[in-house]
Amino acid sequence: MHGTLDFGIKNKVAIVAGGGAFSKDIGNGRAASILLAEAGAKVIVADRNEELANNTVQMIKDRGGEAIGVGGDLTKSDQCKKVVDLALNSWGRLDILDNNIGIASKLSVVDELEEDWDKIMKVNLKPMFLMSKYAIPAMINTGEGGSIVNISSISATRPKGLTSYSASKGAVLSLSQAMAVDHGANGIRVNCILPGPVYTPMVYTSGMTDKHRSQRQNASLIQVEGDGWDIGKAVVYLSSNWARYITGHLMVVDGGCSLSAKPRG
Ligand SMILES: NC(=O)c1ccc[n+]([C@@H]2O[C@H](COP(=O)([O-])OP(=O)(O)OC[C@H]3O[C@@H](n4cnc5c(N)ncnc54)[C@H](O)[C@@H]3O)[C@@H](O)[C@H]2O)c1
């Protein structure tokens, strides 16, 4: 049956690392958490800010889904292990990991402070490494494989400044493909999403004006302003059975912005 809308996510257990977002706003991780739960997964929403994670959990419960929130700095090994253990102790298995954590930078190598470079590399890469380190053995234990989606950015291949950020997101591409090679034999698919300039709390809390916003929209070949839901839907697709033949893939989700000559704001 190829026409079914059963994505094979029902009753799977998922972790979204960085699944919080301010207030009721929709970031990429919050959207992925809500959509995975709507597709039938039980979701651990992990975030440095426990309150933001719990807001996401409440939004999932309001829609009839199942989720648990947990706070912790996921640049730390013990906190990542705690999150994976929570999934196993709560629901006995782990199938899906969305590595969504990321912070932005603004400056060139000349102007960036060394401690800011260190911070961006640490926050944008270490949670992916550590969460995967603990998640992969748990996925192997199910005997059914699993899916990991790492969130990069079109800045990885089409930088427009944001130099430290671009470098960290470039490393996410290599990390994703190397992990796909290492763990494919265990049925674990590892894919990577390169979002374009989507409208999320990360960008509008950094002082985005209406002018920047319309510039970002105009940079899309189809003049669409992307949002967190667009990235969340791509996460659900790549985590589903419909993507069972897809691994090591770098999926650009940007409304064509990376092909456009126009400034992205
Ligand atoms: N918004 C965009 O335009 C855009 C474009 C390309 C890529 N991305 C990427 O998408 C991802 C999500 O972006 P977003 O815009 O939804 O951001 P967001 O800030 O709304 O969400 C990221 C979440 O990660 C959490 N977090 C940060 N550091 C953490 C840590 N050490 N431990 C645990 N949690 C931590 C934050 O609290 C936040 O809730 C990021 O990786 C970002 O780089 C975003």
Cα end-to-end distance, the chain, whole Å? 44
Give residue limits of the domains in the chain.
13-259
Class of domain 13-259: alpha beta
Distance 150 CA to ligand 1 centre (A): 12
Distance 85 CA to ligand 1 centre (A): 23
Candidate of 48, 81, 173 to mutate for ligand 1, largest count of ligand atoms within 8 Å of Cβ: 48
Report which of 207, 253, 216, 188 is spatially closest to residue 32, judged by C-alpha positions: 253
Which of 105, 152, 166, 220 is labelled catalytic? 152
**pLDDT tens across 74-100, in order?**
999 999 999 999 999 999 999 999 999
**More confident of the two residues 265 and 103:** 103
Is 122 annotated in the active site? no
CB 92 within 8 A of CB 42: no
CA distance 172 to 72: 21
| pTM confidence score | 0.96
Please give the pLDDT value at position 206: 73
Please give the pLDDT value at position 216: 87
- Residue owning the nearest CA to atom 43 of ligand 1: 102
- Residue owning the nearest CA to atom 13 of ligand 1: 28
**pLDDT tens across 212-258, in order?**
888 889 999 999 999 999 999 999 999 999 999 999 999 999 999 99
**pLDDT tens across 154-212, in order?**
999 999 889 999 999 999 999 999 999 999 999 999 999 999 999 988 777 777 888 88
Which of 134, 155, 165, 237 is labelled catalytic? 165
**pLDDT tens across 15-46, in order?**
999 999 887 899 999 999 999 999 999 999 99
Residue 1 has pLDDT above 70, yes or no: no
Please give the pLDDT value at position 4: 59
CA distance 121 to 92: 33
Is 169 annotated in the active site? yes
Q: Does the beta carbon of 232 lie inside 6 Å of ligand 1?
A: no
CA distance 121 to 230: 26
Is 134 annotated in the active site? no
Distance 18 CA to ligand 1 centre (A): 6
Residue 263 has pLDDT above 90, yes or no: no
Candidate of 15, 73, 101, 224 to mutate for ligand 1, largest count of ligand atoms within 8 Å of Cβ: 101
CB 235 within 8 A of CB 149: yes
Which strand (E) or helix (H) includes residue 219? helix 210-219
**pLDDT tens across 111-147, in order?**
999 999 999 999 999 999 999 999 999 999 999 999 9
Please give the pLDDT value at position 201: 82
